[in-house]
């Protein structure tokens, strides 16, 4: 028996690991709370490296900008051709900084509109290609973020927090196949449930077949789920089909472009954040 295991150590290990991972998946479905705790623990382990890397990227960006500035000063007499190249690069960086400023101004304006306390956070990892639609934020439980806090941008609803470690948290987008949010068609006030499809669109379910719905109708959060406040843009109806039974099948293109997500606002449901201005001052 022992010789079998020592001779087939790797295949035995593979089978053990594969079965263990299948059991782990099944366990998380059966005991969601334990799954969240497990995710939070692992997120906390990855947090120093991920946050450190994000800090390094910020630092490199700053050094690079300073470098360009100093280069401009010390090489003021360079030929026009070379100066043009530098100015073009600098122009690109400034344009990027301007866009970032614009996004942050949008977030600040949005912060004023929301009654709940909010917290700005940066996306440090994004998954929009596989079967899941999730992102990791650079803020976590230490900043007051809790599981099930809503996440929005000036464009509309992003998703909800599914795991919050000390310095990082994970967001499930509304496009994730296991996501659902209460929503309303703004023109006719018909209520429904917006469910992720796993691609970059969502579907509105539980809308009666006789309801008045047209392509182009705006869909906003209704606030009934207690996660997202009412009135935030979810998306626009792009297709309406007769669904199965007594319900319509409604396809919605989300207002938020998840592929280009950089900063978000977390709607804090719990106590006020401990480090509202955080390490990066945002």
Question: Is 128 a residue that touches another protein (CB under 8 A)?
Answer: yes
Residues in the chain: 282
Question: Is 9 a residue that touches another protein (CB under 8 A)?
Answer: yes
Integer angstrom CA distances of residue 6 from 2, 9, 10, 13, 20: 6, 5, 9, 11, 20
28 or 186: whose CB is closer to another protein?
Answer: 28
Contact 234, 173 (CB under 8 A): no
5, 7, 8, 14: which one binds another protein (CB under 8 A)? 14
**Alpha helix (H) residue ranges in the chain:** 2-7, 9-30, 32-74, 80-113
Integer angstrom CA distances of residue 61 from 94, 139, 244: 12, 20, 53
Closest of 197, 265, 202, 206 to residue 237, by C-alpha: 202
28, 186, 253, 282: which one binds another protein (CB under 8 A)? 28
Complete DSSP assignment for 60-104? HHHHHHHHHHHHHHHTTTS-HHHHHHHHHHHHHHHHHHHHHHHHH
CB of 83 to another protein, least distance (A): 26
Question: Is 123 a residue that touches another protein (CB under 8 A)?
Answer: yes
Q: Which of residues 214-253 bind another protein (CB under 8 A)?
A: none
66 or 188: whose CB is closer to another protein?
Answer: 66
Q: Which of residues 160-189 bind another protein (CB under 8 A)?
A: 162, 170, 172, 176-178
Q: Which of residues 189-208 bind another protein (CB under 8 A)?
A: 197-199
- 181/105 Cα distance (integer angstroms): 27
49, 73, 242, 272: which one binds another protein (CB under 8 A)? 49
Question: Is 53 a residue that touches another protein (CB under 8 A)?
Answer: yes
Footprint on this chain of another protein (rule: CB under 8 A): 9-11, 13-14, 17-18, 21-22, 24-25, 28-29, 35, 38-39, 42-43, 45-46, 49-50, 52-54, 56-57, 123-132, 134, 136, 162, 170, 172, 176-178, 197-199, 259-260
């Amino acid at each position: 028996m022992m010789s079998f295991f020592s001779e087939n150590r790797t295949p035995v290990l593979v089978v053990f690991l594969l079965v263990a991972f299948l059991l782990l998946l099944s366990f998380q479905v059966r005991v969601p709370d334990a799954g969240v705790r497990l995710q939070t623990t692992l997120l906390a382990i990855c947090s120093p490296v991920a946050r450190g890397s994000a800090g390094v990227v910020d630092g490199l960006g700053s050094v690079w900008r300073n470098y360009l500035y100093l280069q401009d000063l010390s090489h003021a007499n360079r030929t026009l051709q070379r100066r043009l190249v530098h100015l073009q690069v600098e122009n690109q960086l400034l344009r990027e900084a301007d866009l970032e400023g614009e996004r942050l101004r949008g977030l600040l304006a949005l912060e004023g509109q929301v009654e709940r306390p909010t917290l700005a956070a940066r996306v440090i990892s994004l998954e929009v290609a596989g079967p899941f639609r999730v992102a990791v934020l650079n803020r976590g439980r230490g900043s007051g973020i809790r599981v099930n806090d809503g996440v929005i941008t000036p464009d509309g609803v992003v998703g909800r927090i599914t795991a919050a470690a000390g310095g990082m948290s994970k967001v499930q987008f509304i496009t994730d196949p296991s996501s659902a949010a209460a929503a309303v068609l703004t023109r006719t006030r018909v209520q429904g449930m917006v469910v992720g499809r796993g691609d970059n669109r969502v579907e509105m379910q539980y809308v009666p077949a006789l309801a008045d719905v047209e392509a182009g109708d705006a869909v906003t959060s209704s606030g009934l789920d207690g996660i997202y406040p009412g009135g935030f843009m979810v998306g626009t109806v792009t297709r309406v089909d007769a669904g199965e039974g007594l319900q319509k099948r409604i396809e919605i293109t989300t207002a938020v472009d998840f592929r280009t997500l950089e900063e978000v606002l977390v709607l804090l449901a719990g106590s006020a954040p401990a480090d509202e201005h955080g390490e990066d001052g945002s």
